[in-house]
Amino acid sequence: MLRFGGVVPAMITPFDKANRFNESAFRELIEANILAGVDGFWLAGGSGESVLLSDEENERLAVAATDQVSGRVTTIMHIGAPTTDRAVTMAEQAAKSGVDALCCVPPFFYRVKERAIIEHYKAVGSASALPLLLYNLPQSTGVDISPALACRIRDVVPSVVGLKHSGPIVENTYGFAAAGFNCFIGYATLMLPGLNMGAVGCIDGPLTIAPELWVAIWRSVCAQDLAAAQKAQKRAAEFATAVYDIGFLDVLKAGCTMRYQVECGSPRLPQLPLTSDQRIALEGILHSFDLL
């Protein structure tokens, strides 16, 4: 049975200097994260610039990930899109690539009623036999998936097995867990509190740069060493806060380039790369955490 839990980096999508998908760098990032002890990958999510990728790029990314992972950890592919037809097409493509599970934000840009959200997930869930995870990201979608709404979606989409909860009401983690969802906390700064509320693991972008910081939390929790888990959480939160104080996609890409010495490129426009001063600041953070 497929296991959902632990440390699951929200992978970036590396680009080369011509702004094309850099498959070799992507494979190196996957391998480095696996060697660090992660439990899976969240592919083409917000940190992976999902809505800025073409369908062809999403398909290439999924194929490369499943080939490189080769069954060693869990692969969860994001296929969310503003139209149901496109989300369904990407779900079908991802399933053919061999990923273990799918994830999907609710439809965005145009506000729709709850019935339309449920019908959207019903169509996506029917596109493949894979487990489906909801992606609660109201900051970007305008839809906050509550435990009650998640249950109503699952009532008509039985393939829904969990979600990534990146909503502002963190305490809803209790409700998701109580309802039997595999709930990943979507905040790198809150992995241990999330686990204490019933989350099964953590998914976020900074995990890609320094997965060992969050693996230390997970392993300490599994060993029932609360003191070690708290110490590891403090260090991981300090790192995540420091890098996010500089930026988001620009920081994740530059951080991975610096840490792993592979070309990850810049974010796609309209997102901008780091300034020279920001790069110096990021490099200083990586050095202070012994990551360079």
- Measured over the CA atoms of residue 233, residue 196, residue 223 and residue 33, the dihedral's sign is negative
What CATH number has the domain bearing residue 186?
Answer: 3.20.20.70
Residue 76: phi and psi, rounded to 5, are: -120, 115
pLDDT grade for 2, boundaries at 50, 70 and 90: confident
List the end-to-end C-alpha distance of the chain, in Å, as a whole number: 38
- Find how far residue 198's CA is from the centre of its chain: 18
Q: Are 216 and 232 in contact (CB under 8 A)?
A: yes
- What average pLDDT score do residues 59-74 get? 97
Residue 1 has pLDDT above 80, yes or no: no
Per-residue pLDDT tens digits for 181-216 = 999 999 999 999 999 999 999 999 999 999 999 999
Q: How far apart are CA 274 and CA 203, in angstroms?
A: 23
Q: Using alpha carbons, list the distances in angstroms from residue 75 to 137, 170, 256.
A: 20, 25, 20
* Cα 162 from Cα 20, distance rounded (Å): 32
Within a domain: residue 1?
no
Residue 30 has pLDDT above 60, yes or no: yes
**Considering the domain boundaries, does residue 81 fall inside one?**
yes
pLDDT bin (cut points 50, 70, 90) of residue 62 is very high
Q: How far apart, in whole angstroms, are the C-alpha atoms of residue 162 and residue 183?
A: 5
* Number of domains composing the chain: 1
Query: Is 271 a domain residue?
Result: yes
Residue 3 has a pLDDT of 84
What would the pLDDT profile of 156-176 be if each residue is shown by its tens digit? 999 999 999 999 999 999 999
**Percent of the chain scored above 70 by pLDDT?**
100
Average pLDDT over all residues of the chain: 97
According to DSSP, residue 106 is labeled: P
Burial call 154-171: b when 16+ CB within 10 Å, e when fewer: beebebbbbbbbbbeebe
> Which are the catalytic amino acids?
135, 164
Cis peptide bond prior to 270, omega within 30° of 0: yes
User: What mean pLDDT is predicted for residues 73-102?
Assistant: 97
Domain-located, residue 89: yes
SS3 labels along 37-76: CCCEEEECCCCCCHHHCCHHHHHHHHHHHHHHHCCCCEEE
pTM above 0.85? yes
270 lies in some domain: yes
- Asked, for residue 105, whether it belongs to a domain, the answer is yes
> Is residue 148 a part of any domain in this protein?
yes
Q: Is the pLDDT of residue 246 over 80?
A: yes
- DSSP states of 128-149: -SS-EEEEE-HHHHS----HHH
Give the residue-averaged pLDDT of 134-142. Answer: 95
Distance of alpha carbon 115 from alpha carbon 122, whole angstroms: 10
Q: Which residue segment(s) compose the domain that 261 sits in?
A: 6-288
Residue 281 belongs to a domain? yes
> Contact at 8 Å (CB) between 33 and 9?
yes
